[in-house]
Amino acid sequence: MFEKFTLEQFVTDAASAKPTPGGGSVAALTASCGAALMAMLCNLTAGKKGFESFFDEMSRLAEKYSAAAKDFLADIDRDVEAFGCYMAALRLPKDTEAQKAERAAALVAAADVATNAPLSVAVKAEALLDDAAYILKNGNPSAVSDGVIAVRLLAAAVDAALCNVEINLPYIKDVEKRAAVKSMADGLKKSAGQKAENILKGIEL
């Protein structure tokens, strides 16, 4: 749905009083833009004179980041669907004990979905930082600023997506699972920040 919107439609809806698209969807869009810019740097390097030795690897990475950019667009709708799942669970009747039990179970399942959607975005965006150092080091210097922006967007997407993970943590009733998700989120946040800092260290625009 939202992945097919024009930019104007998406921004208009995000700015409205509608509950979606919200922060999770915007985090996914941010990751998509970061991946797309990294793919652009690869494409502006592969096949260009003076960069012949990097053609195969840059071509491979261009395909990888282009595919990731499209997948993150799908994550926009996955986040919206996760929110819808949680709202549907909230609206379930709770008049009888059986209904209360069914609603409670549905809320637990919905909380998992609502947490996993942004967590998936954070995991994928953080992993995309792994090849960034190689790309910026060997990429076309005329587009290095785009690579820098890509790194910053991917790191920001991790941080933004994890905000939605953290806000959903209290709704995960399984204590051990909640602790595991929090530990994973903390690790991703720290790792993304360190990777971005190391990648950008020494790069002059």
The domain total for the chain is 1
* Residues 153-176: tens digit of each pLDDT: 999 999 999 999 999 999 888 999
Rounded to the nearest 10°, the torsion over CA 106, 119, 34, 131 is: -150
Residue 202 located in a structural domain: no
What is the C-alpha to C-alpha distance for residues 32 and 67, in angstroms, rounded to an integer? 10
This prediction has a pTM of: 0.92
* Residues 46-89: tens digit of each pLDDT: 988 888 889 999 999 999 999 999 999 999 999 999 988 988 99
Residue 4 has pLDDT above 80, yes or no: no
* Residues 7-32: tens digit of each pLDDT: 899 899 999 999 889 999 999 999 99
Instruction: From residue 7, give the alpha-carbon distance in Å to each of 10, 51, 65, 111, 151.
Output: 5, 34, 21, 29, 22
Q: Name the residue among 127, 130, 125, 132 with its Cα closest to residue 39.
A: 132
Domain boundaries, position 45: 21-196
Residue 81 located in a structural domain: yes
Mean pLDDT of the chain: 93
Residue 3 located in a structural domain: no
